[in-house]
Structure 1
Amino acid sequence: MVQLFNIQEKFQKVTEYWSPKIAGELNGQYIKLVKAKGEMIWHSHDDEDELFMIFKGTFVMEFRDHTATVGPGEVLIVPKGVEHCPRTEGDEEVWLILFEPQATKHTGNIDHEMTKHEQDWI
C-alpha cells in the first residue's frame, strides 16, 4: 500500500512528550514521531541501532563519555548497546522522527514509569 502523509499534520496529533506515535512503516521498520521536552531516562537497546532525525528544535543526547547536540535537519544514530539519555534544553519542545525495527522497545531493557509499552498509530 502506498503511504502518503504530511509530517506537520501528523505532529499536531502528538500530544504527549516522550510518547512515540507510529506514522508509517516500511521494510519491517516503523516511522515514529515524538515530541520531547525535559529529560528521558538512561537506557540502551541490546539488539537495535536507533536513528533520530530532528525535525524541530535542538535535541541533546547524553552518553557516558560525551554529549551530542543535534539540530533541525540533522540525524543522530546511536549504535545498539550504547547507553544514552535523551533530553532537551530548557523548556524547548523538540520534534523527532525515529526509524526503528518494529520490535524496538521504547526504553530498551529498562522498565520505568516513562516506558510506553503500547505505541499508537496516528
Structure 2
Amino acid sequence: MNWLLVIAGAMVGAPLRYLTDRAVQSRHDTVFPWGTFTVNVVGCLVLGVLTGAVTAGTASSEIQLLLGTGLCGALTTYSTLSYETLRLAEEGARFFAAANAVAGIVAGLGAAFTGAAVAQAMWA
C-alpha cells in the first residue's frame, strides 16, 4: 500500500516539475537554468517543513511517503542540476556552471534547514 502513496505523489510532482520549469525558464532570457533551480529549492523547502512536521509528530509516515518521497522526489532533480551544470561548462559558460552547482546546493540546503526550522517553530 505504501508504494501507492509514492506513486500518487509522483504523479503530481513530475508534471508539476515540468510545468514549473517551463513557466519559470520562459520568463528568463539567460543560459542559467532558473526553472530547475526553482523546483529544487521549493522542493527542499517543502521537504524541510514536512520532515519537521513528522519529527514533531504532526504528520504521519503516510503523509511523508505521499509528499516527501512521492511529490518532492519527483519534483526535485539532482540529476538535471548535474546535467545542466555539465552542459553549461561544455558550452563555455563556466561562471554559470559554477554558479549553478554552488547556488543549487547552498540554496537547497538552506531551504531544507529553513523549512525544518519553520516546522519546529510551528509545532514544537
Please, what TM-score do these two structures have when normalized by structure 2? 0.25
Task: From the two aligned structures, give the one with the greater helix fraction.
Answer: 2
Task: From the two aligned structures, give the one with the greater strand fraction.
Answer: 1
Higher relative contact order (CA 8 A, sep 6+): 2
Please, what TM-score do these two structures have when normalized by structure 1? 0.26
